[in-house]
Amino acid sequence: MPKSASILCVFLLATSLGSLAQASPGPATTPAGAVASGHYPDLFAEAGHARPDVEAKIQAAFQQLFHGDPATQAIYYETGSNADGPLAYIHDVNNDDVRSEGISYGMMIAVQLDRKREFDALWNWAMTHMYQRDPSHPAYGYFAWSMRTDGVANDPMPAPDGEEYLITALYFAAERWGNGQGIYDYRAQADRLLRNVLHREAITGQTIHGQMTALSLFDPKTKMVRFTPDAVNAAHTDASYHLPAFYEVWARVGPQADRAFWHQAAQVSRDYLATTAHPKTALTPDYGNFDGTPWAAPWRPDSADFRYDAWRSAMNWSVDGSWWARDHREVEMSNRLQAFFDAQGMDAYQSLYKLDGTLLGGGRVTGLIATNAVASLIATNPRRLAFVQSLWDSPVPNGPQRYYNGMLYLMALLHCSGDFRAWLPHASP
């Protein structure tokens, strides 16, 4: 089939599935996204920075966070080897643990930067220490979200955003480097994990927290990612776990039988993000109900506010808008969000707010500066370049808080430079 016809078929399929959602994904005249066009915008160039300077900035950030001073700069640590090769983890220095989120972010950064050694070492550590192989355990087929650096689980249950990034990074690795053997057969590993995410049956068993029943990571009825598969809290979600750009990838390269589901899940997540984003500020809560309302979790009532998880929501919808260009509301949301933060003062806005914009404090934080810059991928107001420049002017995070801020910072550099790409058959540079 000619490429143009293939693109048309994909568009018609997505349009048909999108009609199942609550709102229109936008006008038919929406321009092609970066995946179809092959053009990933370089926002730093738009802001006046030369390409060699952009590349040097990205490499310097990678070298500092992955191979800098282990006491004050690095978050990537190699820790010996096993039969599958080198092992390495990403360290949340402040909380002194290793998180599936961090491993998955590190792998995504590594595949985007063509750093196969670091990618494989992180994946090996995840499979060696985080992956649950016991079929009687409620977390069977998933990754423990928090581990000690010695490989002992702090909490064996998963946080689904880790699986989402792991799966997508593996698919990109398969396209960029080809498949190897065993755990390095990237595509086979991604397919297996993706089937578990959607189809794994409920398992009741003993955990370090007592008896627990865990379900699939996606709710098959709503087609939404769960906050947790723990059956007690499985009817909730997290806006920052909604990654429609990735679901569109899965709809193209994942197991054939599930591709229609992932097309639908992408539009469901677009609708969810548009619903949960505040109508004036576009701020989203950390945790939410499936209907888009905030969820104040019993153990964390402030999860109804815009806090650390929620920083990522705008990054998620903006990358989706840039890659796939399926929903005009994402552009409006990025404009609304940047208008809110601009009104707080470009050099003064803080990091924690009520959804209506009431300040809760938190100080000026690099992680939020980073994700707000990514919103410029689809924002249309001229203020968008001020957010890009703010990211450019921010130093590479160091010290005790360098893990989360550093991961978001480096991913934002890749997004804003046009170097964070969907590595897909016939769509890669």
Contact 111, 423 (CB under 8 A): yes
Contact 230, 210 (CB under 8 A): no
Contact 239, 276 (CB under 8 A): yes
Helix (H) / strand (E) containing 79: strand 76-82
Residues 386, 151: Cα–Cα separation, whole Å: 42
Q: Which residue has the tokens 């506010």?
A: 305
53 is catalytic: no
Among the listed residues 97, 101, 118, 320, the single catalytic one is 101
Query: How many other CB atoms are found less than 10 A from the CB of residue 358?
Result: 11
Residues 17, 268: Cα–Cα separation, whole Å: 10
First CA to last CA distance, the chain? 21
What per-residue string of b and e applies to 216-231 under the rule 16 or more CB within 10 Å gives b? Answer: bbbbeeebbbbbbbbe
101 is catalytic: yes
Residue 315 tokens, joined: 């990054």
Contact 58, 414 (CB under 8 A): yes
- How would DSSP label each residue in 82-118? ETTEEEEEEEETTTTEEEHHHHHHHHHHHHHTT-HHH
Residue 387 tokens, joined: 């957010």
Contact 218, 265 (CB under 8 A): yes
Contact 100, 130 (CB under 8 A): yes
Longest dimension (CA), the chain: 57
Residue 215 tokens, joined: 């379900």
Cβ-in-10-Å burial (0-12, 13-18, 19+) of 381 comes to middle
Residues 251, 261: Cα–Cα separation, whole Å: 8
Among the listed residues 118, 120, 238, 309, the single catalytic one is 309
Positions marked catalytic = 101, 309
